Each structure stands twice: as structure tokens, then as C-alpha cells.
Amino acid sequence: MRIVRLGRRVIAALTVACAAAAVSTGCTADTAPMDTEGLDLITTDISEPQNSLIPADSNDVCGHTIINLVYSGLMYLDKSGKPHYDMAESVTQVNDTTYNVVIRDDAVFADGSDVDAEDFVDTWNTAVRQSLLSAHHFEPILGFHEGQKNMRGLTVTGEKSFRIELSRPTSGFIERLGYSVFFPMRSEDQDELAERGTDPIGNGPYVLASWEHEKALTVVPNPRYTGPRTPQNEGIKFVVYPSEGQAYKDLVSGDLDVLVHIPAEKLRTFEEELGSQAFSRPVGSMMEITIPANESNFSGEAGRLRRRALSMAIDREKLASELFYDTVIPANGFIAPLHGEMPPAPQDAEVLTHQPDKARELWAKAEKMDPFEGTFSIAYNVDGSHKEWVDAVAQQMEDTLGVPVEGRPIDTFKELRQQVTARHITGAFRTSWQAEYPDESSFLAPLFASYSAANESGFDNREFDRLLEKAGKARTKDEAHKYYAEAQDLLVTAMPAIPLWTSKSLGAYGKDIVPAGYTWKPTPNYYLIHRAER
């Protein structure tokens, strides 16, 4: 079957629309959405992004999904996680800590302005200076910790070139440049983040045509993008559904083209019902129950014992088999599989296995130190398929330990994440984390390093931070793994969160959709999705 490419009519229409919109703002004013009538849009499901579409100020999968389409970085990562040039003409490693970057001459933003060195440098400095949500990813750059306006490790050496100096050797730094946190914004937008968050002027393969909050986001091909990720469709409409069940029904009826979330009630039957339309792939993500450090009943030694007891009260194998029909894999540590392989288990990994007698023993020890008061609650979002497993986990904990445990429903993913990031959440909460780049550190540094804004447990351990720093200085992956393993051992001892299981990427394509393959995470390669020739 032939790949469906954009015809001249579509490209011309988009060019005219973008040019007209760019007169005042960009291609995508929230108040004046682009006219997409007549375009054959691919439709898929999504949740409302928690935050705005600022590359370094988003830490949820939904937001990054859109950001990865409307922005581009120096590199992009292929399905194996290997880096390739996107906006970069070259990235040359001069020595252990220095990289020289040259940007392609034809790299431009959607409004036609050039992507230059100052755009990258200003964007990265702004992220750190304003402590944006994902600013911790710039930590290896010289000057990150100095509190100055600009990091001294970033130097513009020409209109299209700049130098990156790190404070220490950092394994896999070039791969990290393919993560959306490192994508550039226009220099003039650094003082307009609120506006650009809903009306991005990006440099990626798509532009945001419209964003109807809580309803849909639509992207269309960016005619000025000349990078390697060329869209093979006329645009994508991401529909925000109130439930995964409704999205599934629309896929079956032909009203949805790509489904990326299978509802819990269909896990056992979806592959049989959908046949060759269904897909299942191992994915680098981890589901956890996070217990904040300042949560009552869970501080000090008594709190540590309780965390371990709760973990051992969970029968992960039973839940994986009977509730998820083996579409999840019980966690053996804090790191999910990368490239489809389960990582080695840390020391004392028995705390992640079902041991009810040991759990009761630890809980009794904690009770002698500091009696438990109240109810242990686990917050989750209702618009995802989480109620059934949260209730099951709560029941296992309550039956084993004899204490009241309950799920605490919050209407939407966005509301849950807002409460968590604002530190207004009470009790424990579900956390799902997907690797940001193909490295063990992607599960450790963001969630548990003391300097990370994404550390929502409040875990603060200097030895853990020191081990991450040593791993970053390692000259080989084997050496880095040694330090990451030691760091993970500290997490297993302290249990700032309770790892539950790693997921598989489950979904389905419509009958007339040509499967597009997957990114390394894996998520669908949206820009390659297209309809079969009619």
C-alpha cells in the first residue's frame, strides 16, 4: 500500500492559514482556531494536558505528546532510542564535558523566523531561572546550581552555533537532547510563557490548530518544517474523552481512528474483539503509590516500616493475572523495562513480593513506636481505568493489616495532577511515570532526586543524590549501572513510593488505518499514521 502524502492543495491551504495567523501571534491562537474543515484528520484519544504546552514546564504524558509534535529539538530518538539529528546540523563532543552545536540553516519556527543559537540558550536559561517543572533536566550544565540569571555552561558562538559545557561527564547526554524539555522556543517568547503555553509558536512537524479545553486538541502539518519527521497525514485531532469506555466504543463503531487506552473492562477481550487492529507492546513506564514524606503516620522509622508493610500486603502477581489479564508485569524495583527487558532486581527486592505474615509483623512493630490513626487513602483520577485496581489494592491492604484503607476518587487526571504538584494532596496517590529518555536515570532522578521539581514524594537523601552524580560521571553504561543499582537499593530501604507494576502499551487502530510503528517508549509514531489507499 502506498503512503498517503500531503497533496499540494493541503500544503497550500496550511501555508496560507499559517501566514494569516502569524501576522499577530502564530499559527494557533486559542481565541481564533485555524479552520480545518475539509482536512482528513486522524482522530485519537487523550486526556486533557495538566499544564500548558511549554517544553520545560510539562511533566505529564499528554502534554508531552502534543509538545513533541509542535516542537523539535536538536535530536530525535528512533524506535530503538538512538539519537538522530533534527534541528541540529551537528553536535560534536569536544571532550568529556564540552559539546559544540551547529543548527541547520533551514531550521525555522512556524512563523517563519529562524531557529538560532540564542533561542536554545535563552529557552534553557529561562527554564532554570524560573524553576519550571522539568528544569532539573538541565542539572548537568555548568552553572545550574549557581542561582545566576544565565548558566555559564551555555555560550553562543555564532548565529547558528553554541557551546554546552557540563559540570561533569554525563553518560547519554546526547540522547537527552532528544527529550522535549530541551526543545527551543523563540527568544522573544521567554517573557510570554503564559500566552505561548496555549498558543505555541513551535518548530516541529505540526502546528496547534485549536485547543478546546476538556474537549479536543487539533494539530495540522507545519509547512515550514523541513526536518526528518515529515507528517504522512493531514492532521490529528486528539479527543478528550470522559471515559476510556466511550473511546473504545467509538473505535469499534469507526468514529475513532487510533485508540491508545484500553478500558479495564476490556483488557481480557480486546485482542479477541479487535483482532489485527489491536496492539500490545512492552513500555518503559511504572505505576506506583506515592506516600508523601510529610504524611501523618508515615514519618520516621515507624513510617518506614509501614511503607514496607503496605508493599508486602499487595499480591501483585494475583492482580496482574486476575485483574489485568497479564497486560502488566509486577514490578521488581523502581526501574521499568527499557527496550523490552526487565532490569535486574535491587537488593531486598522481597519487599515487593506478597508476604502477608511479614507485613503484619512490620506493621505491629510500627504500632509499638507510633500508633496508626485514621484511614490510609489512595487518590486516583476517575477519567482513567483506575478505580478497580485501587479498590483491589486497598482491600488487600485492609484484609492483611486490619486497618481502614480506601480509594479516593478525583474527577479528572488534570485535577489530580494539579493537587499533587501544588502539594495540596492529602494521603497517598497513584503515580504513573514514563521514561523520558532510554536510561535508568530517567526513573530515578526526576522522581526522587532532592533537586527535582518532579519529586512529589518529598524524598530527600544526600547519599542518593551523590550516587546519581557518580553515575552521571561514569564513562561506561556498566559503571553507571553500578551506581544506579546502589541508588535503587536506598529507595527500596526507604520506600518513598510503592512500585506496583510496569505496563504494556495497549491500543488499537481503525480498520482503514495503516499501523505506523512505535517510538522507543513505545507510543504510536503519530506523524506516520495514515489511512490505507482507498
- The H-assigned helical ranges of 276-336 are 300-312, 316-318
Q: Cα dihedral sign for 413, 286, 80, 180? A: positive
- On whether the pTM is more than 0.75, the answer is yes
Which string of DSSP letters, residue by residue, matches 28-86?
A: -BTTB----TT---EEEEEPPPSS-S-GGG--SHHHHHHHHHH---SEEE-TTS-EEES
- Nearest-angstrom CA–CA distance, 222 and 110: 7
pLDDT tens per residue, the chain (534 residues)? 222 333 433 444 454 444 444 433 344 434 457 889 899 999 999 999 988 999 999 988 899 999 999 999 999 998 888 899 999 999 999 998 999 999 999 999 999 999 999 999 999 999 999 999 899 899 999 999 999 999 999 999 999 999 999 998 887 899 999 999 999 999 999 999 999 999 999 999 999 999 999 999 999 999 999 999 999 999 999 999 989 999 999 999 999 999 999 998 999 999 999 999 998 877 778 999 999 999 989 999 999 999 999 999 999 999 999 999 988 999 999 998 876 667 788 888 899 999 999 999 999 999 999 999 999 999 999 988 899 999 999 999 999 999 999 999 999 988 999 999 888 899 999 999 988 788 888 899 989 999 888 899 999 999 999 999 888 888 788 888 899 999 999 999 999 999 999 988 889 999 999 988 778 777 889 999 999 986
For 446, phi then psi, to 5°, come to -60, -40
> How confident is the model at residue 340, as a pLDDT?
64
Which string of DSSP letters, residue by residue, matches 289-304?
A: EE--TT-TT-SHHHHH
Which residues on adjacent β-strands are paired with residue 29? 32
Residue 227 CA, distance from chain mean position:
23
Which amino acid is residue 491, in one-letter code? L
Which residues on adjacent β-strands are paired with residue 406? 377
Domains of the chain: 72-187 (3.90.76.10), 282-504 (3.10.105.10)
